[in-house]
Amino acid sequence: MTTAYITHPDCLKHKMFTGHPECPERLVAIEDRLKGKQLWDFLEHVEATDVKDNDLLLTHSQQLLEKLSKNTPGAGQSLYHIDPDTCMNEHTLKAAYKSAGAGTMAVDLVMNKKIDNAFCSVRPPGHHAERNDAMGFCFFNNIAVAATYALEKYSLERVAIVDFDVHHGNGTEDIFCNDPRVMICSSYEYPMYPYSGCESVPGHIINSRLDAGSTGAEFRQAVENEWLPELEAFKPQFVFISAGFDAHKEDVIGELQLNESDYRWVSQKIKEIADKYAEGRLVSMLEGGYALNALASSAEQHVRVLMGLE
């Protein structure tokens, strides 16, 4: 089984203010862990290219692209703040284009049977970015761009997005709320930023709210009872993962209590769906995860499953 690891050096150049949890060291920690566990050399390494504007505009508005381009700081200029926690330096837009481009590249590689699946280790993350707005550390909605690209370029009829980040993917829901071709299964701590997540819409949007302090057992129960039956009925032709690892018990961003074994388990369950209904077609994109050791070890377990090692 061939798993691509897609990233780009530009993803390390996007930096926000000192002490910001969404930092370049996140990608370094994952890479170091995979090397330390002797997995690195068995991955297919691919350098991301820029997403094309025409492909971005399948998901985002021209207004958003123009806003980000217009407000990109020049060399040596101060950060431009989208919101108090989301800001751009001179390299941010380049990193965002590479991050979204990693997803469309992964779709092409999978659909053309060059690889079996992919993990896109990219930043900035994406699932909070809405059609018209950047927010919550996110500029382009990488997973939504990839899913829309798969639908439009390859004329797919059904794709699923599974999001186990500690935060609700408000952007992904905003983009696909009226598109029945896309099923979204999302778990998240509630109430917490971005304070969204409507009631579930059977066959389309499955929101699994978890209270602060919820354990891995409660998370697994939600997946078993709420996600898997819906995914089985939907029979997706491609599966996408918003892989946020900030629901880990060591991550201070939230108060969920997941551990590495929970991420391995949920990755296995999602991969089984992809294998059963989508010919194994699966693309995973990094979202959150800010406790570096927990992020690295959780991502390792996730990648092991993609590689067919667990």
Domain ranges for the chain, please list them.
3-306
The answer for residues whose C-beta is within 8 angstroms of residue 197's C-beta and 6 or more apart is 168, 170, 173, 186, 188, 190, 207, 209
Q: Mind listing the pLDDT tens digit for each residue in 187-244?
A: 999 999 999 998 899 999 999 999 999 999 999 999 999 999 999 999 999 999 999 9
Q: What pLDDT sits at residue 198? A: 82
**What pLDDT score was predicted for residue 21?**
98
What digits encode the pLDDT tens for the residues 252-268? 999 999 999 999 999 99
Write the DSSP assignment of 163-194 as a string of letters: E-SSS--HHHHHHHTT-TTEEEEEEEESS-TT
* Active-site position among 8, 14, 60, 128: 128
Query: 99-156 pLDDT, tens per residue?
Result: 999 999 999 999 999 999 999 999 999 999 999 999 999 999 999 999 999 999 999 9
Q: What is the pTM of this model?
A: 0.98
The CA distance from 68 to 83, in Å, is 13
CB count within 10 Å of CB 31 equals 16
Is 128 in the active site? yes
Tens of pLDDT, residues 34-49: 999 999 999 999 999 9
Which residue reads 């060591």 in tokens? 250
pLDDT band at 1 (very low <50, low <70, confident <90, very high): confident
Which architecture characterizes domain 3-306 according to CATH? Answer: 3-Layer(aba) Sandwich (3.40)
**What's the pLDDT at 222?**
98
| Structure token digits, residue 201 | 């819409």
Sheet holding 182-189, edge to edge: 44-47, 3-7, 117-120, 282-286, 238-243, 159-163, 182-189, 205-210
